[in-house]
Amino acid sequence: MSSTQQHLSMPAINGTRSPTPQRPKNQTTVIVGAQWGDEGKGKIVDLLAVKADVVCRCAGGNNAGHTVVVGSTEYDFHLLPSGVINAKCTSVIGNGVVVHLPGLFEEISKNEAKGLSGIRERLFISDRAHLVFDLHQSVDGLQESEKGLKKQQLGTTKKGIGPTYASKASRHGVRISDLIGDFDRFSEKFHNVVRIHKQAFPDLKVDVDAELARYKKYAEEVRPMVKDTVFFTNQAINSVDSKFIIVEGANAAMLDIDFGTYPYVTSSNCTVGGVLTGLGIPPKAIGDVYGVVKAYTTRVGDGPFPTELTEDIGAMMQKRGAEFGVTTKRPRRCGWLDLVVVKYTSMLNGYSALAVTKLDILDTLDEIKIGVAYRYEGQVLDSFPADLSLLDKVHVDYVTVKGWKNDISGARRFEELPKEAQDYIGVMEQQLGVPIRWIGVGKDRNAIIERDV
Active site residue 168: yes
In our burial notation (b when 16+ CB lie closer than 10 A, e otherwise), range 251-287 reads bbbbbbbebbbeebbbbbbbbbebbbebbbbeeebbe
Consult the annotation and say whether 64 binds a ligand. Answer: yes
Cα distance between residue 304 and residue 253, in whole Å: 14
Consult the annotation and say whether 327 binds a ligand. Answer: yes
Q: Which of 46, 53, 66, 158 is catalytic?
A: 66
* DSSP state letters, 146-158: HT-SGGG------
Consult the annotation and say whether 67 binds a ligand. Answer: yes
Active site residue 395: no
Active site residue 284: no
Consult the annotation and say whether 310 binds a ligand. Answer: no
Q: Which of 136, 168, 294, 343 is catalytic?
A: 168
Consult the annotation and say whether 332 binds a ligand. Answer: yes
Consult the annotation and say whether 369 binds a ligand. Answer: no
Consult the annotation and say whether 120 binds a ligand. Answer: no
Consult the annotation and say whether 71 binds a ligand. Answer: no
Say if residues 420 and 393 touch (Cβ distance below 8 Å). Answer: no
First to last CA, the chain: 18
Cα distance between residue 230 and residue 242, in whole Å: 19
The secondary structure of residue 254, as a DSSP letter, is: G
150-to-124, 182, 263, 453 alpha-carbon distances in Å:
39, 43, 14, 45
Consult the annotation and say whether 63 binds a ligand. Answer: yes
Q: Which of 38, 53, 178, 256 is catalytic?
A: 38
Consult the annotation and say whether 441 binds a ligand. Answer: yes
CA nearest neighbour of 126 among 222, 190, 42, 46: 222
Residues facing residue 291 across a β-bridge: 32, 354
Consult the annotation and say whether 360 binds a ligand. Answer: yes
Consult the annotation and say whether 171 binds a ligand. Answer: yes
Consult the annotation and say whether 40 binds a ligand. Answer: yes
Using DSSP's 3-state secondary structure scheme, residue 417 falls into: coil
Consult the annotation and say whether 335 binds a ligand. Answer: no
Using DSSP's 3-state secondary structure scheme, residue 283 falls into: helix
Using DSSP's 3-state secondary structure scheme, residue 260 falls into: coil
Consult the annotation and say whether 329 binds a ligand. Answer: yes
Say if residues 363 and 440 touch (Cβ distance below 8 Å). Answer: no
Consult the annotation and say whether 331 binds a ligand. Answer: yes
Cα distance between residue 306 and residue 289, in whole Å: 26
Consult the annotation and say whether 65 binds a ligand. Answer: yes
CA angle centred on 328, ends 388 and 87, rounded to 5°: 115
Consult the annotation and say whether 442 binds a ligand. Answer: yes
Consult the annotation and say whether 147 binds a ligand. Answer: no
146-to-150, 158, 167 alpha-carbon distances in Å:
10, 13, 19
Say if residues 193 and 172 touch (Cβ distance below 8 Å). Answer: yes
Consult the annotation and say whether 358 binds a ligand. Answer: yes
Binding residues: 37-43, 63-67, 157, 171, 251, 266, 326-332, 358-360, 440-442
Binding residues for IMP: 38-41, 63-66, 157, 171, 251, 266, 330
The catalytic site residues sit at 38, 66, 168
Binding residues for GTP: 37-43, 65-67, 332, 358-360, 440-442
Binding residues for substrate: 326-332
Binding residues for Mg(2+): 38, 65
